């Protein structure tokens, strides 16, 4: 069996599709190379190869020699860009400046020479010489790439621009040739700077983990070490205002932590001993001692960054479609350019004879064809899409939404329906006290059921049953003192009893109270009526008679109704899928305003429901907890999990994870996805529209080479700047 390995290369200047073609051509004959993938935003090329047949450093040298792009192997996407030689870092800008200076002097010589006493012939020779110097300066880095492209039969932008410059010079249009050389250098420089800006913006959004940590030694001494040297069980000091360097649990101290880097939640949360903390979050006013739960490489923020970087390296469907379009678009425009150069001449020759094909006619149509060649550059069209997708992914990560690929960012905005699991998704997934009732005729003042809750909490606190624990938790939330129950004893599956203040109390199901002979007729009727409501009723009695009953139910998430209403305003249908009984499902759906609900479903039934909705209403997504809803999540067009910041399983299984365990980012995500798609479509329309306009002007002889270059530069900058708007908060 053949073993495959993978290595990554940092490629200086990798920011457009034509560099991708150069790199593909450079390794097409390399033995052992299986496949290539490219990340234009981070300037990375990933090579899958047969183990033992490829040596990364040697392959890097081969790629550099064949493509002219400086290539070095790196250990991962997070490593800094290599420094490289002076020429690789400054050659393009330097040659562009030199070309600009020579062009300016040449134009000045042609314009001011005769006015300063030079002969017309002398000023013309000076103009041509300086413009030729501008062509040479601007072509130092371009012409070698043009030759490599021609020899490799690759019709890239380097070939198109090189031919345009040489063609203009051959026609004697030295000022036009020099202008093209200069403006193309400006175009490449500005494009490179804009892509670098996009890279820095994305990196700033993602690289939020501190580089150092203050480790507390066994003797209490504090030493500063690299954050990646912290090990499981180490104690780390986190001062006020510092970022938490690792995942762990608080051992000492209380503080408020700003967790928006993880959850997107802007409000700091209170944390104390025993509470979890996460690397990348910001400590508030207190000083904390944190016990590390693992190394930095296992931290949640590290996994998030890795997921986002992996998503950046992939291509969204719209990006793949644009790349395929550009593959056919460029040859098509070149064919149009050749037709522009030849058809008018053939027509003139056929209608007027050979004498009709004179030099001015040839020169005019050849020049128009060169303008069309320049228009063939697809860079603005190709680069706008990945910049928009990566900006969208990074902005989502800052909002506490982890999207695992550009395709999911695209698809979530195209959904027409969303299915929701009930328990743990639309509800909190735990029993909570919703009603406390004192039995009719029970002794004691009518205190609103506080005495019932106090005694029930005392008994529930001694046992391990989830309902008893929920009652005790609710009592403490209401600041009710919970006494200690003596002589506690559980009756499995039914209830429990114990003594409080020397009075024996029984707590449990209606059946248990009946079997114990403690259910009086009036109380029996009360419990029967309580059983008709949603939830579970727990009765509390003494030997003297009933004290009251408590109803518990799985409460709806406080934000769920608002989120569902907002989704409806966005035009999405909603359906709740649950295994609960129809009565409970109907009550929850009615309370939250869910559009539709399906009850008493097994996991396989949920899959069928999602498929049915997709066939009836269009693309359907699924929102669940990422574990027990796995079949339905897999069947949906896009799966969304409420991660809860400690849920590693949700990070692995869902397409999208709402890190705050909160539904409120969901409507924002829909709007954000739609805004990203809208921005991509705007950029595509702008790029194609601009080129079509210049093409029409060129056919009518109204466009020059420098106009075509200027239009291409402007379009590239505008589409990149437009895509970067997605990084701004509140832009959707």
Q: Which residues are catalytic?
A: 421
CA 380 centroid distance within chain: 22
Burial class from Cβ neighbours inside 10 Å (0-12, 13-18, 19+) for residue 219 reads: exposed
DSSP string, 198-232: HHHHHHHHH--S-SEEEEEPTTS-EEEEEGGG--T
From CA 504, how far away is CA 707, in angstroms rounded?
94
Who contacts 302 (Cβ-Cβ below 8 Å, separation ≥6)?
209, 279, 296
Burial class from Cβ neighbours inside 10 Å (0-12, 13-18, 19+) for residue 18 reads: buried
User: Measuring CA to CA, which residue among 34, 41, 43 is closest to residue 9?
Assistant: 43
DSSP string, 720-732: HHHHHGGGSTT--
3-class DSSP state of 378: coil
Contact between 498 and 459 under an 8 Å Cβ cutoff? The reply is yes
CA 267 centroid distance within chain: 22
The β-bridge relationship of strands 276-277 and 282-283 is unpaired
Contact between 385 and 319 under an 8 Å Cβ cutoff? The reply is yes
Q: CA of 182: how far to CAs of 103, 134, 172, in Å?
A: 8, 7, 17
CA quadruple 168, 178, 331, 712: dihedral sign: negative
User: Measuring CA to CA, which residue among 623, 627, 650 is closest to residue 637?
Assistant: 623
Contact between 369 and 335 under an 8 Å Cβ cutoff? The reply is no
Who contacts 479 (Cβ-Cβ below 8 Å, separation ≥6)?
none
* 69 secondary structure, DSSP code: S
Contact between 230 and 280 under an 8 Å Cβ cutoff? The reply is no
Centre a 10 Å sphere on the Cβ of residue 274 and count the other Cβ atoms it contains: 8
* 84 secondary structure, DSSP code: -
From the CA atom positions of the chain, what is the Rg in Å? 35
CA 581 centroid distance within chain: 38
Contact between 412 and 637 under an 8 Å Cβ cutoff? The reply is no
Helix (H) or strand (E) holding 429: strand 427-438
* 663 secondary structure, DSSP code: S
From CA 199, how far away is CA 13, in angstroms rounded?
13
Q: CA of 25: how far to CAs of 66, 122, 155, in Å?
A: 8, 46, 12
The β-bridge relationship of strands 596-598 and 656-658 is unpaired
Q: CA of 544: how far to CAs of 504, 506, 512, in Å?
A: 10, 11, 16
């Amino acid at each position: 069996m053949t073993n495959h390995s993978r290595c990554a290369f940092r490629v200086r200047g990798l920011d457009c599709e034509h560099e991708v073609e150069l790199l593909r051509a450079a390794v097409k004959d390399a033995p052992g190379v299986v496949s290539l993938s490219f990340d234009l935003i981070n300037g990375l090329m990933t090579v899958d190869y047969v183990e033992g047949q490829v040596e990364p450093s040697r392959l890097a040298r081969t790629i550099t020699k064949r493509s002219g792009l400086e290539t070095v192997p790196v250990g991962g996407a997070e490593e800094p860009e290599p420094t490289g030689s002076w020429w690789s870092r400054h050659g393009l800008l330097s040659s562009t400046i030199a070309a600009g200076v020579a062009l300016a002097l040449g134009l000045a010589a042609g314009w001011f020479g005769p006015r300063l006493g030079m002969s017309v012939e002398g000023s013309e020779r000076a103009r041509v010489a300086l413009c030729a110097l501008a062509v040479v300066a601007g072509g130092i880095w371009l012409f070698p790439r043009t030759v490599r492209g021609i020899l490799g039969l690759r019709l890239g932008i380097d070939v198109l621009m090189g031919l345009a410059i040489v063609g203009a010079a051959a026609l004697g249009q030295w000022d036009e040739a020099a202008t093209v050389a200069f403006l193309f250098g400006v175009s490449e420089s500005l494009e490179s700077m804009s892509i670098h800006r996009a890279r820095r913006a994305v990196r700033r959004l993602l690289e939020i983990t501190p580089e150092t940590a203050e480790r507390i030694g066994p003797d209490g001494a504090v030493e500063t070490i690299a954050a990646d040297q912290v090990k499981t069980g180490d104690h780390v000091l986190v001062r006020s205002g510092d970022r938490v360097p690792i995942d762990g649990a608080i051992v000492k101290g209380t503080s408020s932590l700003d967790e928006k880097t993880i959850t997107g939640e802007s409000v700091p949360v209170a944390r104390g001993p025993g509470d979890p903390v996460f690397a990348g979050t910001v400590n508030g006013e207190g000083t904390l001692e944190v016990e590390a739960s693992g190394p930095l490489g296992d931290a949640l923020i590290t996994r998030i960054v890795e997921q986002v970087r992996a998503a950046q390296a992939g291509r969204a469907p719209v990006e793949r479609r644009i790349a395929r379009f550009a593959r056919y678009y460029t040859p098509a425009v070149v064919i149009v350019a050749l037709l522009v150069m030849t058809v008018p001449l053939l027509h003139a020759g056929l209608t007027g004879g050979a004498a009709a094909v004179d030099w001015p006619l040839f020169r005019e149509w050849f020049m128009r064809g060169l303008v069309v060649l320049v228009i063939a550059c697809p860079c603005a069209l190709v680069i706008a899409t990945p910049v928009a997708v990566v900006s969208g992914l990074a902005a989502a990560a800052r909002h506490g939404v982890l999207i695992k690929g550009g395709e999911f960012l695209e698809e979530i905005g195209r959904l027409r329906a969303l299915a929701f699991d009930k328990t743990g998704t639309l509800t909190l997934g735990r029993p909570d006290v919703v009603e406390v009732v004192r039995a009719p005729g029970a002794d004691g003042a009518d205190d609103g059921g506080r005495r019932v809750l106090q005694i029930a909490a005392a008994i529930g606190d001694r046992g391990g049953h989830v309902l008893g624990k929920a009652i005790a938790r609710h009592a403490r939330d209401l600041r009710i003192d919970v006494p200690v129950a003596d002589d506690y004893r559980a009756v499995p599956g039914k209830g429990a009893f114990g003594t409080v203040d020397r009075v024996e109390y029984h707590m449990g199901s209606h059946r248990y109270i009946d079997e114990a002979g403690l259910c009086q007729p009036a109380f029996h009727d009360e419990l029967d009526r309580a059983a008709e409501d949603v939830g579970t009723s727990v009765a509390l009695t003494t030997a003297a008679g009933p004290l009251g009953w408590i109803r518990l139910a799985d409460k709806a998430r406080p934000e769920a109704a608002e989120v569902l209403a907002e989704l409806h305003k966005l035009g999405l249908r909603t359906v709740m899928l649950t295994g609960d009984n129809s009565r409970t499902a109907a009550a929850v759906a009615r309370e939250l305003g869910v559009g539709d609900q399906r009850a008493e479903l097994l996991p396989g039934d949920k899959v069928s429901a999602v498929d049915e909705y997709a066939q009836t209403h269009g693309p359907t997504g699924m929102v669940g907890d990422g574990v027990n809803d796995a079949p339905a999540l897999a069947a949906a067009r896009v799966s969304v999990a409420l991660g809860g910041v400690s849920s590693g399983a949700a990070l692995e299984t869902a397409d999208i994870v709402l890190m705050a365990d909160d539904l409120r980012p969901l409507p924002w995500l829909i709007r954000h996805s739609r805004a990203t798609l809208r921005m991509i479509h705007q950029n595509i329309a702008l790029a194609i529209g601009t080129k079509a306009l210049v093409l029409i002007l060129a056919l009518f002889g109204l466009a020059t080479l420098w106009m075509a270059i200027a239009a291409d530069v402007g379009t590239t900058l505008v589409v990149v700047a437009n895509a970067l708007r997605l990084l701004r908060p509140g832009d959707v």
